[in-house]
Amino acid sequence: MNLILIVEDEPGIARVLSAYLKKASFEVIHAADGITALELFKQHQPALVVLDVMLPGMDGWELLQLIREQGACPVIMLTARDGIEDRLSGLDGGADDYMTKPFIPEEVVARVNAVLRRRPYVNDRNSKRHFGNLVIDYAAKCVYLNGAEVGLSPRDLSLLLFLSEYPNRTFTRDHLIEQVWGMDYEGSDRAVDLSVKRLRQLLCNWSSDVGEIRTLRGMGYQFWISE
């Protein structure tokens, strides 16, 4: 049974979310502040975190970055701000999804299920491939650069695994949304751009003469490898 960590300082909202998630057969733990949430996260290693932005002491953005330093646990952000820039900032910060208040509890459960269904693409034929100083282990779902593991969110990892499975092939944003984000994704296709941006930043020390993630204007993205 998947364990969900709810980080929410409003007791009423936390109770409703807990009730609906438990009804959907999830285990639930709750924290009302960022410091307690980080302790629970380290102790229990939840399958997913539902994280409010406005928290006492440590806000959700800071906690998100600390969670990302710990690993690739999926995070769904909750906030009262619904501007497109806020949404993009959340996704750019490594969030896997972003919901605004007020929300329908059933939708939160649906989003949780959707994020958990997005498993990184796995290549069963070749468990590990070397691209110069970049190594991708498909079976273990791990990426190494210069011998050190690169910490990627589940969504960014899925995108990298998918693109690297088809070197030098170009994919449109819509195709990547369908293959990596899933048919039930209803957000902006800018999410692909932000994911590629994060991958480039994390792989900035990848030897450029060996390969890179390229943008083909008007066409899409490709995992380019020197032949």
My answer on whether 93 and 167 are in the same domain is no
My answer on whether 103 and 151 are in the same domain is no
SS3 50: strand
Instruction: State the average pLDDT over residues 206-220.
Output: 89
Q: Specify if 122 maps to a domain.
A: no
pLDDT of 60 > 70? The answer is yes
What's the confidence (pLDDT) of residue 121? 41
| CATH number, domain containing residue 134 | 1.10.10.10
Cβ within 8 Å of residue 29, ≥6 positions away: 3, 4, 5, 6, 40, 44, 46
Which amino acid is it at 188?
A: S
What's the confidence (pLDDT) of residue 8? 95
Backbone phi and psi for residue 173, each to the nearest 5 degrees, phi listed first: -60, -45
My answer on whether 185 and 205 are in the same domain is yes
My answer on whether 145 and 207 are in the same domain is yes
Instruction: State the average pLDDT over residues 40-65.
Output: 90
What's the confidence (pLDDT) of residue 183? 61
My answer on whether 79 and 167 are in the same domain is no
Residue 188 C-alpha from the chain's centroid: 15
Task: Return the higher-pLDDT residue of 159 and 179.
Answer: 159
My answer on whether 68 and 30 are in the same domain is yes
Sheet-wide strand order for 134-137? 128-131, 134-137, 142-145, 148-149
Sheet-wide strand order for 3-7? 27-31, 3-7, 48-52, 75-79, 97-100
What's the confidence (pLDDT) of residue 220? 92
Report the C-alpha gap between 122 and 141 in whole angstroms: 7
| CATH number, domain containing residue 23 | 3.40.50.2300
Q: Specify if 123 maps to a domain.
A: no
pLDDT of 132 > 80? The answer is yes
Q: Specify if 211 maps to a domain.
A: yes
Give the domain range for residue 44: 3-117
Roughly how many angstroms between the first and final C-alpha of the chain, as a whole number? 46
Q: Final residue of a domain: which of 86, 117, 148?
A: 117
Q: Are the CB atoms for 157 and 120 separated by under 8 Å? A: yes
What's the confidence (pLDDT) of residue 82? 61
* Surface-to-core class of residue 208, CB atoms within 10 Å of its CB (0-12 exposed, 13-18 middle, 19+ buried): exposed
pLDDT of 54 > 80? The answer is yes
What's the confidence (pLDDT) of residue 190? 83
What's the confidence (pLDDT) of residue 123? 41
Cβ within 8 Å of residue 129, ≥6 positions away: 123, 135, 136, 138, 164
Confidence label for 1 from pLDDT (cuts 50, 70 and 90) = low
pLDDT of 3 > 50? The answer is yes
Task: Return the higher-pLDDT residue of 214 and 182.
Answer: 214
Q: Final residue of a domain: which of 61, 89, 117?
A: 117
Q: Final residue of a domain: which of 117, 144, 162?
A: 117
pLDDT of 135 > 50? The answer is yes
Lowest mean pLDDT among 24-38, 75-89, 181-195, 205-219: 75-89
My answer on whether 112 and 135 are in the same domain is no
Q: Specify if 174 maps to a domain.
A: yes
Question: Of the candidates 84, 79, 51, 44, which has an alpha carbon nearest to the alpha carbon of residue 65?
Answer: 51
My answer on whether 59 and 150 are in the same domain is no
Question: Of the candidates 81, 73, 80, 2, which has an alpha carbon nearest to the alpha carbon of residue 37?
Answer: 73
Instruction: State the average pLDDT over residues 58-85.
Output: 80
My answer on whether 135 and 94 are in the same domain is no
My answer on whether 30 and 79 are in the same domain is yes
What's the confidence (pLDDT) of residue 125? 43
- Please state the domain count of the chain: 2
My answer on whether 93 and 193 are in the same domain is no
My answer on whether 85 and 158 are in the same domain is no
pLDDT in tens, 81-128: 665 555 565 566 678 888 888 889 999 999 898 888 764 444 444 578
Q: Specify if 53 maps to a domain.
A: yes
